[in-house]
Amino acid sequence: MTNLGVYEEKIKDFSWEISERELGYKQGDNINIGEYCTDRICRMGKKDKLALIWEGHGGDIKKYTFDDMRMLTNSIARFFKELGLKGGDRICLFMDKIPELYFGFLGILKMGGIAQPLFSAFGSESLLTRLEDAGTRAVMTQKRHLPKVRNIVKDLPGLEFIIVVDDDASKPLREKEISFSMENIEKIDQFDIFPSKAETPSVLHYTSGTTGKPKGAQHVHYSLISQYITAKYVLDLKDDDIYWCTADPGWVTGTSYGIIGPWANGITQCVLDSGFKAESWYKFAEKHKVTVWYSAPTAIRALMKEGIDVVKKHDLSSLRHLCSVGEPLNAEAVIWSEEAFGRPFHDTYWQTETGSIVISNYPDMKVKPGSMGKPFPGIEATVVDLNTHLPIERTGTVGLIALKPGWPAMFRTYWNNEEIYKSKFKNGWYICGDRASIDEDGYYWFVGRDDDVINTGGHLVGPFEIESALLEHEAVAESAVVGKPDPVNMEVVKAFIALKPGFTASKDMNLNIMNFVRKRLSPLAMPQEIEFVDSLPKTRSGKIMRRVLRAKEWGEEIGDTSTLENDEG
């Protein structure tokens, strides 16, 4: 029996109150995600149950019970408070997937701070943009990432504390830097948890758009109501599950379903802090007897490349439910997973902004390979016309995915950017910015993004951020960045570059520019290919027409460019 049961039945009588009731929450009560994921689970008699099984890249394993996690998150919360950090302060987590990242996140929420997780592979420039915008007061990081913070600290007068979680005193720390050891900290039994209410800000996740700087999607503690029930119904998490979410908490999947959803359900999670390698992933799933696995199409395609023989070398019979998110899950991957693991990957669709799964394939529902499934109960979804933004009645017609605002995990604004936030709503619908169609059975079929944002391996990168970084390179006169098809990562970054007079295109120049972007922004943002050109296609007013370049890469019709030349959009 699955937690959701029959989808058609569930949608009839679903209301978010079901989740509120299960969580023992009533309107007006305090609601603190940190408390719900730790103290409440302990009160339910699961003190000694394992909350986290963590494995490092060297194979070292650490295990924590819910009671360990409750006390360590208290200790971290008190540590922040004693530094003078207060409710509403933005505290950034800039770490690999180590236990301190997970417990730091909940510790921040317990003392009322706003957790701002950032992907640890970000370079200094990516970090600077996001810390500056958020007005971050403290960063929690590791020795290996400290140099990137040191590079920019002079540009961030508001950044008061840089907390180093693995300082071994081998090198002196500098001004503002503080050593912190979770291994040695006193475990605190009692902590006065911040009395957050439903609308108290909780998490700030930065996401990339087509234009301008990345935007901070602002979430609130009430998001728990969606995250708890979607983890229960879509991931089908049950008490004896061992759950593995491969996402990094630098991105929303890693917090909504790598921290909040599963732990609010009192589920044992395992985390592998190492990069992708098919063999080690299978070994990990086998060793820890993973039952529910939440991953991404790029990872699945990479596993497919390694072949079924590698799968068969391992006993993966513990796996009972597989889900995927972040990019279109191609039909072949679903079919392959049935052959390899005896069960399909279930595609789920959502965004940083939605905070929780909004369209999905459910455990009891027939999977149509290649489809994203149907709206989650309680989510009113449709596709709207590209121009009028009115719902499209006819099945099979491509439009924009649109959601009726009001579900608990929906973002409340973009930090410092109410104007762009407002622009996301049309005719009373939140417009996701993705194109899709709905078939006669109500299944959604993803078509593509409606903007120039590049989705590489499930991570969004904004062309504008990369183009801005490129312009800082001494040889670059102008550039345009687009996504180019890739068999594993779906898209990779391609840059078209016109060089300044006196500079010539060469292999060295190519590498030099690639490394320049990798170091400043991240390996994700680094162009995998650079094409040197004499000039770039522009509109009459001089705006670069990315769409023309993109269409070329995808072998699509460019259409009538005279309209594009006038297009200022």
Which residues are near ligand PRX by CB under 6 A?
207, 251-253, 325-328, 347-352, 372, 432-434, 446, 449, 455, 460
Report the candidate in 203, 291, 224 with the shortest Cα–Cα distance to residue 37: 224
Number of H helices and E strands in the chain, helices first, is 20, 27
Residue closer to ligand PRX by CB (options 200, 352) is 352
Q: Which residues pair with 431 in a beta bridge?
A: 402
d(CA 7, CA 21): 20
Phi and psi based region of residue 268 (left: phi greater than 0; alpha: psi -120 to 50; beta: remaining): beta
The residue (of 481 and 509) whose beta carbon lies closer to ligand PRX is 481
Task: Give least dist CB 47 to ligand PRX, A.
Answer: 32
- In this complex, which beta carbon is closest to ligand PRX, that of residue 64 or of residue 376? 376
Question: Smallest gap, in angstroms, from Cβ of residue 453 to ligand PRX?
Answer: 7
* In the complex, least distance from residue 357 CB atom to ligand PRX, rounded to whole angstroms: 8
d(CA 260, CA 248): 13
Of 55 and 133, the one with the shorter C-beta distance to ligand PRX is 133
CA distance 442 to 462: 32
Residues forming beta bridges with residue 442, ordered by sequence position: none
**Least Å distance between CB 329 and ligand PRX?**
6
Spatial contact of 83 and 58, defined as CB atoms under 8 Å apart: no
Residues present in the chain in total: 569
Residue 370 or 391: which CB sits closer to ligand PRX? 370
What's the closest the beta carbon of residue 422 comes to ligand PRX, in angstroms? Answer: 19
Q: Is 86 helix (H, G, I), strand (E, B) or coil?
A: coil
d(CA 326, CA 354): 13
* Nearer of residues 291 and 351 to ligand PRX, judged by Cβ: 351
Cβ closest to ligand PRX, residue 38 vs residue 522? 522
For residue 383, give the amino acid letter: V
Q: How far is the CB of 400 from ligand PRX (least distance, A)?
A: 11
Q: Are 431 and 402 in contact (CB under 8 A)?
A: yes
Give the integer Cα–Cα distance in Å for 108 and 85: 10
**Residue with smaller CB distance to ligand PRX, 123 or 328:** 328
Structure tokens at 103: 């417990």
What residue is closest to ligand PRX based on CB?
352
**Which tokens is 230 given?**
């979607």
Q: Which two tokens stand for residue 42?
A: 């302990």
Q: Torsions phi, psi of 416, nearest 5?
A: 60, 15
| Cβ atoms of residues 223 and 409 within 8 Å | yes
Minimum CB separation of residue 525 from ligand PRX in Å reads 14
Closer residue to ligand PRX (CB): 32 or 208: 208
In whole angstroms, what is the distance from residue 64 CA to residue 56 CA? 14
Q: How far is the CB of 138 from ligand PRX (least distance, A)?
A: 25
**Closest separation in Å from C-beta 412 to ligand PRX:** 16
Nearest CB to ligand PRX, comparing residues 410 and 460: 460
Closest contact distance (angstroms) between CB of 355 and ligand PRX is 9
| CA–CA gap between residue 373 and residue 359 (Å, rounded) | 6
